[in-house]
């Protein structure tokens, strides 16, 4: 049974039983504790935590998930990959244990002909929490599972919580016996490789207090409303039903693995080492496809770094398997064909996805070249110092700074006869992981104490949000929050969060800054600094009380700054227009991946590999302004998400949308996007658009910035004034300015070249004079001098060294602000006596600096005079000790 069919059967089964279908949320998640969705229940957290009422009593989903904690171990076991899909059915205060257990067992054992999975009951085991007699009894009497196949387990295995105070409860799992070839008999307590978990049923019926993440916390009492959260790993069910040994051999993964084997000419099954690498490629390519599909582009932080690491591990594995060509374009095409039956948007958006992946592979190829050069220098330095090992610090720097894989460092160092200090490298990696874990743990506090906000929602319901309808409302202060607690009032000068029963203020979202404005009532005046949504349904206002005392229960007028809102509307609609213009000029793959706008200003990130030429930028700017001149109508409509997709509305990658979405059209299909922001009514209200910059924000991603409306007028006026001043200063008509400036630049460059030639001749003359006047140190000529900059210092040191007619050494200092650069040189005859510029320099500077026997350079602190003295002493010492 193909994976897409397993998925369809799961959804159909629960839809027939009154569940609402909820589409998978994107992998990137707006949650302070997570980078990516890592479990099927994550999109339902607000309902399970009681932060918002569930819009349906029961739901079903197949959620895309990603876990990267054990990324280095991917491919080494049958069950663990980075990307996976979680089948889940959920109940919010509706059905509970009896129905949940019955649903799971019925679907798993129901004959294939009747829409089930057809697994034999004789191969199934179940586990329950050791105190959950109710669940054990249901399995025994209602389902008919033999008591000797019902395993009772402890808190760590069969009790669920989110690791923080909140809902918790016992769980029950269904396992399948894969047979004696996979391990010893005796059930999941004996061997979980043979007895593999297929699904987990969580019964949320209690509330837990503070304590350990897994155990050692108090149970505070029963929840007022019991919930159900289940998870069935789609990949595990697939390799069970497809009769293969592991998730890398199922129909959605094996074709990628086979193509990798074909490209590398390394057959699968040849050796454990090559099999692990092929599995890594198959897993990581599929994972990267899904991450890029959800709008992430490679980078150096957060989820962007996770993607970069996954892509580079794929390329690295292919290279270690012997393939040096561009692998990702080949492999991503296969991955698309594997995943598009379940996710058709992958095919629709494939050109952009493949562009991002190919750009990162190109970037990594350059990284490998750079890393190889750095490694060669480190190896040469180790050999020059007589060491047989490359330091752990060098290996870690290559890995951490340049992205150079440690296994390539080990392999290439070995080729040159060196070992690598693996223990030192491991210690540095362990320390980095410790810091990363500490950082991840600190992010868990991002949940904060939301009780003050949830209490307000529970008491008064959601905020009546009127930002689309009006700029002013008569409102009541429902709550004032200072820190994490509610207070009765806030005095002048205080900065607090205020909850109103109704508000006209736009809360920051979708790249648009929140509104500015005032709360006014009696003698109270409060300036609105920011507007946000801390919990679903609630809008809060961060305010500074600038007059009077603001009290809970007070009546106030909430008043948005009209000029601010107008500027924000112009900028947000301008963002849509620029996005459409980019797609018109560059093609449909130039998709927005992020944006930010505030009154008069917009910034838009989009998928594109190369810099836009000045001509292309002008073309995009003209397309945007022509659309504005045509005064295209702006229409806002509400519809279901499937309806919006059907008419081609573009969604911002990484955003999570409700079933009912807001579609903003500018000129009909010319610009059609899902958007919750505020917009103008006609395109002409945007005013002119002026692109001010274009830059790179990572491989495969560019950024344009622009100003609109009055800000665009001001920007263009400044540009006009600048051109006028240049034309006046240069006595040149405006239209001839480019040629005039080019001619001036050429003349300046030629003057600089002539200056360099003159300086070189002066240096040569000075070098000859210095060499002739060299002092004598133990029979060797010694020259010390200063130079104005490092380039001159190196040139002078080399020139003096070449002009000695006897053994000679040179030290040239370049003074700075409390520091200096020292350049050392040794003539050929001096090197014949055993003198080395690199050794003399390092000892002079206390180990700092680098170079070779002829020329070396390093930096020191303080004045250069003592360094000259030390340098001369070292020369004398070397020569004297060599003769004794």
* Distance between CA atoms of residues 161 and 206, nearest Å: 10
What are the phi and psi torsion angles at 663 (to 5°)? Answer: -110, 130
* Distance between CA atoms of residues 98 and 508, nearest Å: 44
Residue 615: its H or E element: helix 614-629
Residue 576 labelled as part of a binding site: yes
* Distance between CA atoms of residues 569 and 573, nearest Å: 6
Q: CA torsion, points 496, 499, 503, 507, in degrees to nearest 10? A: 60
* Distance between CA atoms of residues 56 and 240, nearest Å: 32
Q: Are 120 and 112 in contact (CB under 8 A)?
A: no
For 527, 541, 802, the CA distances from 477, given in Å and listed in that order, are 15, 11, 84
* Distance between CA atoms of residues 331 and 588, nearest Å: 22
Can you point out the beta strands (E) in 466-523?
472-482, 485-487, 489-490, 495-500, 502-503, 517-521
Q: Which residue is associated with the tokens 């099927």?
A: 40
How many other C-beta atoms are found inside a 10 Å radius of the C-beta of residue 298? 28
Closest-CA residue to 40 (of 83, 88, 81): 88
Q: Are 823 and 855 in contact (CB under 8 A)?
A: yes
Residue 675 labelled as part of a binding site: yes
What are the phi and psi torsion angles at 668 (to 5°)? Answer: 70, -130
Give every CB contact of residue 574 below 8 A, 6+ residues apart in sequence. Answer: 597, 602, 624, 686, 689, 706, 708, 709
Residue 828: its H or E element: helix 828-832
* Distance between CA atoms of residues 118 and 107, nearest Å: 8
SS3 78: coil
b (16+ CB within 10 A) / e for 800-827: bbbbbeebbbbbbbbeeeeebbbbbbbb
CB-count burial class (<10 Å; 0-12, 13-18, 19+) for 787 = buried
Residue 719: its H or E element: helix 709-730
Task: Show the CA angle centred on residue 255, arms to residues 249 and 256, nearest 5°.
Answer: 100
Closest-CA residue to 477 (of 492, 498, 497): 498
* Distance between CA atoms of residues 590 and 612, nearest Å: 12
Q: Are 94 and 142 in contact (CB under 8 A)?
A: no
Give every CB contact of residue 57 below 8 A, 6+ residues apart in sequence. Answer: 91, 92, 93, 94
Can you point out the beta strands (E) in 109-194?
124-129, 150-153, 159-161, 166-177
Q: CA torsion, points 759, 762, 763, 767, in degrees to nearest 10? A: 180
CA 851 to chain centroid: 38
Strands 195-208 vs 166-177: parallel, antiparallel or unpaired: antiparallel
Residue 284 labelled as part of a binding site: no
Residue 447 labelled as part of a binding site: no
* Distance between CA atoms of residues 607 and 293, nearest Å: 12
HEC sequence for 140-151: HHHHCCCHHHEE
As given in the structure block, the two tokens for residue 185 are 């008999």
Binding-site residues from annotation:
572, 576, 675, 679
- Binding site per annotation, positions for Zn(2+): 572, 576, 675, 679
């Amino acid at each position: 049974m193909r994976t897409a069919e397993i998925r369809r059967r799961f959804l159909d089964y629960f839809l027939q039983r009154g569940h609402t279908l909820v589409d998978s949320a994107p992998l990137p998640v707006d949650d302070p504790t997570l980078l990516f969705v890592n479990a099927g229940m994550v999109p339902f957290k607000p309902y399970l935590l009681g932060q918002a009422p569930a819009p349906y009593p029961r739901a079903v989903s197949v959620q895309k998930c990603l876990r990267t904690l054990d990324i280095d171990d991917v491919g080494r076991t049958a069950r663990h990959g980075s990307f996976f899909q979680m089948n889940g059915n959920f109940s919010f205060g509706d059905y509970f244990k009896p129905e949940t257990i019955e649903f799971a067992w019925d679907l798993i054992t129901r004959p294939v002909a009747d829409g089930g999975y057809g697994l034999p009951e004789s191969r199934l085991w179940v586990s329950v929490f050791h105190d959950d007699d109710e669940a054990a009894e249901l399995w025994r009497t209602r389902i008919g599972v033999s008591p000797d196949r019902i395993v009772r387990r402890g808190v760590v295995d069969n009790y669920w919580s989110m690791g923080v105070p909140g809902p918790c409860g016992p769980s029950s799992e269904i396992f399948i016996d894969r047979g004696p070839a996979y391990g010893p008999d005796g059930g999941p307590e004996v061997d979980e490789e043979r007895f593999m978990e297929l699904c987990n049923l969580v019964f949320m019926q209690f509330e837990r207090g503070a304590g350990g993440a897994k155990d050692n916390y108090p149970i505070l009492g029963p929840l007022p409303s019991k919930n159900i959260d289940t998870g069935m790993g789609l990949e595990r069910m697939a390799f069970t039903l497809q009769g293969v040994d592991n998730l890398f051999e199922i129909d959605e993964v094996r074709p990628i693995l086979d193509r990798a084997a074909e490209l590398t000419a390394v057959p699968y099954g040849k050796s454990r080492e090559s099999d692990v690498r092929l599995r890594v490629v198959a897993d990581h390519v599929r994972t990267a496809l899904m991450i890029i599909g959800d709008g992430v582009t490679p980078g150096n932080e957060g989820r962007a770094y996770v993607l970069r690491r996954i892509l580079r591990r794929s390329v690295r594995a292919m290279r270690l398997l012997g393939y040096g060509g561009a692998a990702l374009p080949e492999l991503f095409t296969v991955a698309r064909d594997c995943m598009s039956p379940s996710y058709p948007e992958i095919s629709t958006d494939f050109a952009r996805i493949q562009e991002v992946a190919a750009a990162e592979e190109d970037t990594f190829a350059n990284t490998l070249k750079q890393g190889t050069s750095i490694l060669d220098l480190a190896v040469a330095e180790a050999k020059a110092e007589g060491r047989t090992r490359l330091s752990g610090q060098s290996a870690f720097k290559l890995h951490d700074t340049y992205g150079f894989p440690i296994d390539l460092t080990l392999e290439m160092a070995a080729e040159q006869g060196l070992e690598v200090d693996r223990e030192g490298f491991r210690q540095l990696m362990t320390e980095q992981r410790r810091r990363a874990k500490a950082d991840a743990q600190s992010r868990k506090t991002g949940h904060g104490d939301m009780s003050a906000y949830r209490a307000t929602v529970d008491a008064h319901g959601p905020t009546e949000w009127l930002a689309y309808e009006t700029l002013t409302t008569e409102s009541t202060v429902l709550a004032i929050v200072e820190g994490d607690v509610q207070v009765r009032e806030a005095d002048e000068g205080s900065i607090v969060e205020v909850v109103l029963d109704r508000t006209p203020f736009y809360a920051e979202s979708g790249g648009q800054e929140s509104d500015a404005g005032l709360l006014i009532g009696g003698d109270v005046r409060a300036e609105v600094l920011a507007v946000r949504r801390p919990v679903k349904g609630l809008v809060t206002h961060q305010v500074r009380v600038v007059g009077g005392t603001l009290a809970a229960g007070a009546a106030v007028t909430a008043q948005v700054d009209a000029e601010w809102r107008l500027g924000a509307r112009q900028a947000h609609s301008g963002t849509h227009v620029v996005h459409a213009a980019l797609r018109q000029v560059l093609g449909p793959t130039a998709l927005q991946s992020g944006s930010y706008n505030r009154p008069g200003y917009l910034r838009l990130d989009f998928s594109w590999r190369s810099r836009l030429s000045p001509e292309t930028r002008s073309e995009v700017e003209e397309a945007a302004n022509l659309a504005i001149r045509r005064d295209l109508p702006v229409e806002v409509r509400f519809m279901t998400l499937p309806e919006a997709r059907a008419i081609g509305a573009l969604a911002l990658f990484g955003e999570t949308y409700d079933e009912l979405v807001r579609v903003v059209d500018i000129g009909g299909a010319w610009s059609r996007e899902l958007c919750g922001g505020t917009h103008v009514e006609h395109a002409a209200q945007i005013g002119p658009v002026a692109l001010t910059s274009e830059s790179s924000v990572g491989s495969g991603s560019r950024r344009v910035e622009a100003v609109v409306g009055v800000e665009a007028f001001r920007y263009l006026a400044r540009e006009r004034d600048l051109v006028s001043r240049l034309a006046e200063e240069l006595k040149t008509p405006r239209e001839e300015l480019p040629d005039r400036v080019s001619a001036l630049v050429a003349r300046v460059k030629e003057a600089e070249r002539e200056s360099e030639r003159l300086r070189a001749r002066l240096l040569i003359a000075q070098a000859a004079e210095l060499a002739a006047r060299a002092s004598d140190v133990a029979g060797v000529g010694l020259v010390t001098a200063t130079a104005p900059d490092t380039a001159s210092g190196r040139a002078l040191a080399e020139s003096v060294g070449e002009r000695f007619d006897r053994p000679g050494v040179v030290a040239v200092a370049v003074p700075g602000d409390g520091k200096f650069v020292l350049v050392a040189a040794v003539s050929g005859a001096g090197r014949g006596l055993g003198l080395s510029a690199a050794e003399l320099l390092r000892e002079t500077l206390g180990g700092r600096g680098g170079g070779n026997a002829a020329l070396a350079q390093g930096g020191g602190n303080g004045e250069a005079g003592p360094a000259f003295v030390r340098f001369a002493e070292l020369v004398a010492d070397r020569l004297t000790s060599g003769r004794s």
